[in-house]
Amino acid sequence: MKYRKVGKIMINDDKLVIGGHEFSSRFILGSGKYSMKLIEAAVRDAGAEIITLAVRRANTKEQENILDYIPKGVTLLPNTSGARNADEAVRIARLARELGCGDFVKVEIMRDTKYLLPDNYETIKATQILANEGFVVMPYMYPDLNAARDMVNAGAATIMPLASPIGSNKGLATREFIQILIDEIDVPIIVDAGIGRPSQACEAMEMGAAAIMANTALATAGDLPMMASAFKQAIEAGRRAYLAGLGRVLTRGASASDPLTGFLR
């Protein structure tokens, strides 16, 4: 059991391990839409220990540079948004390292500005190059088992499948395929993009996802801190449910009193 009781206190020994680094929180703040209030709520109320950062946004002279607002102890996860192929993603990742963002990188490669769907093929190529350069590579991908295996073989530290189109808040539209990744892939599966409600985050965690990344769901909420706290609780609840082992779910009505296989001798 990952939780143990010491006196009346529940200790969380259940760590999220990415590339050898341990995290207690399983909520990751996505980038894209941010405000300083969002970062504050994500860290304080959702307990985020990893915050994604769009390098293209950080590459600024702006007075309110997002880098200045990341609290100490929080791990930066720069992403390569804006990249249209592996080559561009690699260059953005290297720029992130130069900017002092560390070795974590979320590879995002999109060749479509309408739906912003990730390009798995280019992502595999970028993963290979960046993993060889010592980056902790977290590829954002469309949930495809073959592509996920290729990314792991290329050195990915996690796999980050999308739940539904980015920014859509539509929840687990790719549920079945994410479940296959959870069942078959040995590195942590972090569900990214499309999670719009705490209940959806909870469901993904119950399925066995290692963590949830969200941004729009918080950024567009009426009360940021309250929504951040709701996500924290939902993710923790889902994780505990997964660790506890979900109980039997009856698919239709009550179970038959006479067993179907009763005729067997």
Question: Which residues carry out catalysis?
Answer: 106
> Which residues does 151 contact at the CB level (< 8 Å), separation at least 6?
120, 123, 124, 127, 139, 141, 159
| Backbone torsions φ then ψ of 211, nearest 5 degrees | -165, 170
- The stretch among 7-15, 20-28, 76-84, 156-164 that binds other proteins (CB under 8 A) is 76-84
Of 4-12, 126-134, 135-143, 165-173, the segment contacting other proteins by CB under 8 A is 165-173
- Residue choice 113, 146, 255, 261 for contact with other proteins (CB under 8 A): 113
Using CA atoms, how far apart are residues 141 and 106, in angstroms rounded to an integer? Answer: 10
Nearer to other proteins, 33 or 44 (CB): 33
| Closest separation in Å from C-beta 63 to other proteins | 7
**Of positions 79, 127, 158, 216, contacts other proteins by CB under 8 A:** 216
Considering beta carbons, is residue 115 or 121 the nearer one to other proteins?
115
Which parts of the chain fold into alpha helices (H)? 36-44, 55-58, 86-98, 120-132, 145-153, 175-184, 198-207, 216-219, 224-244
- How many Å apart are CA 190 and CA 140, to the nearest integer? 9
Q: Give the whole-angstrom CA distance, residue 35 versus residue 49.
A: 17
**Residues 222-261 as x/- pattern, contact with other proteins by CB under 8 A:** ----------------------------------------
Among 167, 171, 188, 198, binds other proteins (CB under 8 A): 167
Q: 191 with 27: CB under 8 angstroms?
A: no
Cα–Cα nearest to 142, from 192, 195, 211 = 192
Per-residue string for binding with other proteins, 29-58, x by CB under 8 A? Answer: ---xxxxx-----------------xxxx-
**φ, ψ dihedrals at 146, nearest 5°:** -65, -45
Figure out which of the listed residues 61, 72, 248, 252 binds other proteins, where binding follows CB under 8 A: 61
Out of 114, 248, 252, 265, name the contact with other proteins by CB under 8 A: 114
- Angle of CA points 122, 145, 129, to nearest 5°: 30
Burial of 83 (0-12, 13-18, 19+ CB in 10 A): buried
Least distance from other proteins to the Cβ atom of residue 127, Å: 17
Residues at the site binding other proteins, with contacts judged by CB under 8 A: 32-36, 54-57, 59-63, 82-84, 87-88, 91-92, 95, 110-116, 167-169, 215-216, 219-220
